[in-house]
């Protein structure tokens, strides 16, 4: 294992930004990063000289440890720590480190503050997983949708379908590695029944058992949580795999995940969402003129939403 200090210098942000005036135009101003948990931490744009670039901002008040990778020129307030890389890391690797920081949130509650030493001495994997280096993931705060079409769900016909309908899913029980197989340098995502981090608990040196471009749904643990899995993975038996019988993509997957998660209230630790119950569960979907699920409409609707330009289709799925 390593610690954050092996990879970063960690300092406090600056405190001289209290009296500056926010600009109404975003073109000429420098983004000022605060401890807010949205908009990549940007509090506004100001006429100030930028101080940082290619760093990670870590809120130490407010949304504590909700780290953001700051790719472009910015200033950072003293409500945050600043993680300055000691080595040359790619944007993908910086995003990876920021997500590792977020996993430490639970440690800083009830008056326990995040400080450079506490964060810097936190144990983390010694090696960056190879798939992080190879992934095309990007980070953006663009609010723009893919298109400006006015797509409304209220004027659509909706019908109920069972999950095991011939047009929907083939649901399988998760399988693969075990938790004690998690290693620092694994290349295969290991999905468990947690409620965050896309279900990812760690990486394993184990062949992917399940295909990517599928949806995982927890039957136990955080029952009903659902996530889109873009690449091949392993999982525990507490996760069920929704293999699509149609051409799935990230936009349709996100549309379906919202509807799948609406079933969460029916299940808990005492009432599992087992395979038989899942297959019999029904889902309301918009349909076309032939009363088939209208996958094109679902994709168009998701692409009409703000921030949809941030949802990139992996090359292996779009090709």
Nearest CA to 22 out of 41, 49, 46, 43 is that of 46
Split at pLDDT 50, 70, 90, the class of 236 is: very high
Angstrom distance (rounded) from CA 137 to CA 252: 19
- Angstrom CA distances, 87 to 53, 83, 95, 125, 267, stand at 14, 12, 15, 16, 47
pLDDT given at position 319: 38
Q: Let me know: does 188 contact 205? Beta carbons within 8 Å.
A: yes
Q: What is the CATH code for 158-318?
A: 3.90.220.20
Report the DSSP pairing between strands 75-76 and 30-33: parallel
Split at pLDDT 50, 70, 90, the class of 57 is: very high
Record: fold of 2-134: Adenine-n6-DNA-methyltransferase TaqI; Chain A, domain 2 (3.90.220)
Q: Where are the chain's structural domains? A: 2-134, 158-318
Residues 6+ apart with CB under 8 A from 259: 283, 284, 285
pLDDT given at position 25: 56
Using a 10 angstrom Cβ sphere, with 0-12 exposed, 13-18 middle and 19 or more buried, the burial of residue 260 is: buried
Beta-sheet strands, E only, within 166-264: 169-173, 182-183, 188-191, 200-204, 214-218, 226-229, 234-235, 239-244
Residues 6+ apart with CB under 8 A from 154: none
Q: Which residue would you say has higher pLDDT here, 106 or 12?
A: 12
Q: What is the pLDDT of residues 186-228, one digit of tens each?
A: 889 999 999 888 999 888 888 999 999 999 999 988 898 999 9
The answer to whether domain 2-134 and domain 158-318 are alike in fold is: yes
Q: What is the pLDDT of residues 239-295, one digit of tens each?
A: 999 999 999 999 999 999 999 998 888 876 677 888 898 999 999 999 999 999 999
Angstrom distance (rounded) from CA 27 to CA 37: 23
Q: What is the pLDDT of residues 91-139, one digit of tens each?
A: 989 999 999 999 898 888 767 889 999 999 999 988 888 777 776 655 5
């Amino acid at each position: 294992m390593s610690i954050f200090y092996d990879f970063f210098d960690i300092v406090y942000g600056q405190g001289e930004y209290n009296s500056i005036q926010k600009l109404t135009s975003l073109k000429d101003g420098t983004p000022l990063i605060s401890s807010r948990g949205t908009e990549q931490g940007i509090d506004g744009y100001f006429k100030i000289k930028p101080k940082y670039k290619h760093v990670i901002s870590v809120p130490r008040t407010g949304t504590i440890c909700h780290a953001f990778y700051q790719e472009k020129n910015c200033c950072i307030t003293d409500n945050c720590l600043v993680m300055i890389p000691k080595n040359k890391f790619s944007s993908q690797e910086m995003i990876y480190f920021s997500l590792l920081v977020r996993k430490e949130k639970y440690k800083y509650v009830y008056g326990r503050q995040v400080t450079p030493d506490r964060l810097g001495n936190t144990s983390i994997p010694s090696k960056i997983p190879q798939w992080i280096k190879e992934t095309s993931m990007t980070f953006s705060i663009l609010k723009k949708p893919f298109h400006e079409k006015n797509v409304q769900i209220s004027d659509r016909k909706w019908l109920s379908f069972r999950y095991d309908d011939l047009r929907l899913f083939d649901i399988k029980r998760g399988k693969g590695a075990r938790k004690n197989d998690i290693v620092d340098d694994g290349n295969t995502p290991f999905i468990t029944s947690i409620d965050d981090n896309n279900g990812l608990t760690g990486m394993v040196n184990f062949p992917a058992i399940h295909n990517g471009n599928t949806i995982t749904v927890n039957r136990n643990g955080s029952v009903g949580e659902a996530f889109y899995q873009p690449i091949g993975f392993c999982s525990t038996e507490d996760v069920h795999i929704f293999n699509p019988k149609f051409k799935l993509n990230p936009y349709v997957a996100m549309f379906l995940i919202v509807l799948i998660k609406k079933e969460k209230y029916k299940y808990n630790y005492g009432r599992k969402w087992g395979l038989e119950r899942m297959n019999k569960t029904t889902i309301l979907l918009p349909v076309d003129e032939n009363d088939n699920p209208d996958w094109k409409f679902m994709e168009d609707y998701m692409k009409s939403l703000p921030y949809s330009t941030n949802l990139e289709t992996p090359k292996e799925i779009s090709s």
